[in-house]
C-alpha cells in the first residue's frame, strides 16, 4: 500500500507539470500568432484559449489535491509516516516554479491589445471571467 500511495503522490504532481507545460505552450503560441485582437476571429480564438486555461486550472486543482489526500489517507491507515511529507513538498515546489514561469504569458494575454473599442470591451469581459470565475460563460 505504501508504494501505491507514494506513486500516486509523485504521479499527480508530474501530471500537473505536464498540464502546466501544455497550457503554457498553447498560450505562448496564441500570443506569438496573435499579437493583437484585430478581428472577431481573433476574439473567438482568445475566448477559446481563455476557456482552455480555465478548464486546465480546474484540472490542476484536482491534480494538486491528490498527493495531500493520499498522504493523509496513508497516515490514517499507518502506511505512511509524517516524514513522507517530503514526497509532497519537493514535487509541489517544482509545480509552483513551472506554473510561475508561465505567469507572464497570462498577464500578457490579459492585456493583449485590441483594434477597436468593441474588441477591447469584449477582451475585458473575457479577462474578468477568466480571472474571477471557475468556468467560462461566454
1-36 pLDDT, tens digit each:
999 999 999 999 999 999 999 999 999 999 999 999
Q: Is residue 65 part of a domain?
A: yes
pLDDT at 106 over 90: yes
pLDDT at 138 over 90: no
Q: Is residue 137 part of a domain?
A: no
Q: Which domain covers residue 12, as residue numbers?
A: 2-132
What does pLDDT average to over the chain? Answer: 96
Which pTM was predicted?
Answer: 0.87
pLDDT band at 84 (very low <50, low <70, confident <90, very high): very high
Considering only CA atoms, which of 25, 8, 6, 11 is closest in space to residue 86? 6
Q: Could you give the CA distance from residue 93 to residue 106 in angstroms, rounded to a whole number?
A: 20
Contacts of 6 (CB under 8 A, 6+ apart): 80, 84, 87
**Percent of the residues in the chain that have a pLDDT greater than 90, as a whole number:** 95
Q: Is residue 59 part of a domain?
A: yes
As for how many domains the chain has, the answer is 1
The answer to whether residues 68 and 45 touch, using CB atoms and an 8 Å cutoff, is no
Q: Is residue 138 part of a domain?
A: no
Contacts of 51 (CB under 8 A, 6+ apart): 136, 138
Amino acid at each position: 500500500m505504501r508504494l501505491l500511495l507514494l506513486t500516486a503522490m509523485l504521479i499527480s504532481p508530474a501530471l500537473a507539470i505536464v498540464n502546466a507545460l501544455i497550457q503554457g505552450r498553447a498560450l505562448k503560441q496564441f500570443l506569438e500568432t496573435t499579437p493583437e485582437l484585430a478581428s472577431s476571429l481573433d476574439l473567438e480564438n482568445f475566448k477559446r484559449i481563455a476557456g482552455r486555461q480555465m478548464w486546465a486550472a480546474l484540472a490542476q486543482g484536482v491534480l494538486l489535491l491528490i498527493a495531500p489526500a493520499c498522504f493523509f489517507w496513508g497516515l490514517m491507515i499507518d502506511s505512511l509516516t509524517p516524514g513522507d511529507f517530503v514526497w509532497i513538498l519537493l514535487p509541489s515546489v517544482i509545480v509552483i516554479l513551472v506554473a510561475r514561469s508561465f505567469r507572464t504569458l497570462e498577464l500578457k494575454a490579459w492585456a493583449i491589445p485590441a483594434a477597436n473599442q468593441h474588441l477591447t470591451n469584449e477582451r475585458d469581459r473575457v479577462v474578468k471571467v477568466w480571472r474571477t470565475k471557475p468556468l467560462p460563460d461566454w
